[in-house]
A and B are shown apart, each in its own frame.
Chain A
Amino acid sequence: MSSLLIGGIGVGGLFVLILLGVNVMVALGTVGALGLAAIVGTTGATAMLGTVFFDTTHSFHFSVIPLFLLMGFFAMRAGLGEDLFEATTRWFGNLRGGLAISTTLGAAAFGAASGSSVGTATVFTKLALPQMLSRGYDKSLASASIAIAGTLAVMIPPSALVVVYGILTDSSIGSLLIAGFIPGIVFAIILCGAIWITVWRKPELAPIEVQTFTLREKLSSLRLAGPLVLIIILIVSGLYLGIFTPTEAGGVGAFTTLILAVIRHRGFKGVELKKTLLETIQTSAMIFGILICALVFSKFLALSGVANTVGGYLVGLDVNRWVIVLLVSLIYLALGMMMDAPALLAITLPITHPVMMDLGFDPIWFGIYVVLLVEIGAVTPPVGINCFVVQSASEGRVKLEEVFKGLVPFVLAGFAMLILLCVFPQIALFLPETMR
């Protein structure tokens, strides 16, 4: 049997296993290891399994993942989400749809400090959903705006998913992190615009806020949001000015949010340090589990020649390179319906990344573009992790269908953002290029 055929069977087998409910890590690892064994023998496959687990984790660079996650969990403990929501509500609460807009802005800022899309969606479901519903907001609009706002956490640095892209493609993690900053803010603004247009067309979705705040109350709310803004400035400027490396940014960020959490709870007791650390290491282990098994799979794919063949086919197509971008985007959107973000990156990047590099696209730009693509996948049915999280954190307030139904304008906003990135790649590239 030719290697190429084995590779094809492997790709098919992977999808069958995933559809059968085998967890993605196990599916990737099993197909990868068996595929390697089929091509180079069991001794070879065992040798690769022996080295890849150690080699991938024995790394200073990658310790940034647990540190970013730790920062996000400490930020939740420090109540940074609550403070921020309070502040944005006082400023934007009495616009039509203002509560949804302030949720988006709050989630953007909170997401900036946390590296976790799902974490941000959880926090804001707890904070904002009950408030919106009690003020008569439409369930779909309210829950969907939270589900999509979670994705901002992944665009704006720090972001574990961006680091995953960096690891899988050997790109500069420092540049990638900085690159997400402006696109994250632009996307936040576009999402606010989408909310505004939605409620402008159907005012009954979002009743006008009656409670108003005095200027004094508004200004005092800024003090609440102050610490978080400070942390964001610390991290982004630290990375931008080259004061510290990404790993150090994670360490300093986690340490600072820990101090804020301790201040808020007046001591270590309320921080629930052990619980927070356990949550952090489990999420880290999950990401690394997927990453490593994906590497086993990608080694198999490389050795089988499938990656080269598919890539070669795409590159060899006699069409404008933007047609290839469109094809690649459609592949991500289709697969994104069924898979969640890290798994999707892990499976596809070995094929798409070399193609895009061959076509002369910038690796940093493609990183941001592809992260946005997979994050759109994180809200689309049937497998939209963020929607699952919002639904389960809502404690029965909304149904899954209601969340999905509300997402139409936001997915369209995501497409608008994708187009914007294609037309103005500088949105992503400006900061990393001036950093150099």
Chain B
Amino acid sequence: MQRIETLGRHYGAFLTLCGTVAGALTFGVMCLVVANAVMRYGFNRPIAGTLELTEGALPFMIFLSLALTQFHGGHIKVVLLTQALSPALARAAKVFAMLLGAVLFAWAAYAGWLMAVKSFAMGELERGSIRFPIWPVKFAVFFGLMLLSIQFFLDAIYCALGGNLDEPSQEVTP
């Protein structure tokens, strides 16, 4: 139990690092979008590649933070039935829920991997007002989905060993 907790903490620190990169990108995109609007109105010279760069950045922003959100227990779940279950059954339901997440996102990560490899093999390019390879963006999708699958798996083990995951009352939604 202690080992899985330590592992979980280290993994969480790594996810926070990924999230910080995503956060920095978000900040960068904000600056780019504002600068582009200012350059367009002020100087009739929009910044070439604003659209392509923003578009390319969003998957990084999302997929570098997806697992961190699960780490903090922020994905929406509903607890109606489980509250009425016996503790053992409730735990089993929780482990099942986490394993389902692990399997789904492992599947999705595998699918993302296939897509990224294909894109790399054909040297797929973003061809707009600026050009750059698109496959790193696709690998980011794969990477984020894999991180999320692992986080669900860790949560499942932690829960099966008797750990208590956060209840959803703290969650933030739009």
Contacts and interface: CB of A to CB of B under 8 A. Distances in A.
Direct contact of A and B (CB under 8 A): yes
Interface of A: 17-26, 29-30, 33, 46-51, 53-54, 57-60, 62-63, 66-67, 69-70, 115-119, 154, 159-161, 164, 243-244, 247-248, 250-252, 254-255, 258, 273-274, 277-290, 338-343, 382-383, 385, 388-389, 391-392
B25 to A, nearest CB: 8
B62 A67 contact: no
Interface string B79-120: 111100000001001101100110111011011101100000
Contacts of A290: 75-76
Contact of A286 (B22, B74, B114): B74
Contacts of B34: 248, 251-252, 255
Nearest to A245: B37
A343 B78 CA distance: 11
Given A21-B94, A118-B172, A392-B170, A250 B33 contact: yes
A179 B172 CA distance: 25
A63 B29 contact: yes
B77 interface: yes
Given A29-B104, A282-B68, A50 B114 contact: yes
Interface in B124-163: 137-138, 141, 145, 152
A288 B62 contact: yes
B114 A46 contact: yes
A60 B26 contact: no
Given A54-B141, A60-B51, A30 B65 contact: no
A18 B78 CA distance: 6
B81 A54 contact: no
Interface residues of B, number: 71
12 contacts: A23-B77, A33-B108, A49-B111, A54-B112, A57-B141, A67-B33, A115-B174, A116-B174, A279-B172, A281-B68, A342-B76, A383-B80
Q: Which of A117, A286, A388 has the most CB of B within 10 A?
A: A286
A392 B100 contact: no
Interface of B: 16, 19-20, 22-24, 26-27, 29-34, 36-37, 41, 51, 54-59, 61-66, 68-69, 72, 74-82, 90, 93-94, 96-97, 100-101, 103-105, 107-108, 110-112, 114-115, 137-138, 141, 145, 152, 168-174
Contact of A277 (B24, B51, B110, B172): B24
Nearest to B66: A285
A59 B53 CA distance: 10
Given A116-B174, A252-B37, A26 B26 contact: no
A278 B16 contact: yes
Contact of B78 (A244, A254, A279, A339): A339
Contacts of B169: 388-389, 391-392
A70 B115 CA distance: 31
A43 B62 CA distance: 26
B174 A160 contact: yes
A22 B77 contact: yes
The 3 closest A-B pairs by CB, nearest first: A277-B23, A251-B33, A50-B111
A110 to B, nearest CB: 15
Given A251-B33, A278-B20, A341 B69 contact: no
Nearest to A160: B174
The winner among A22, A115, A392 for most chain B CB atoms within 10 A is A22
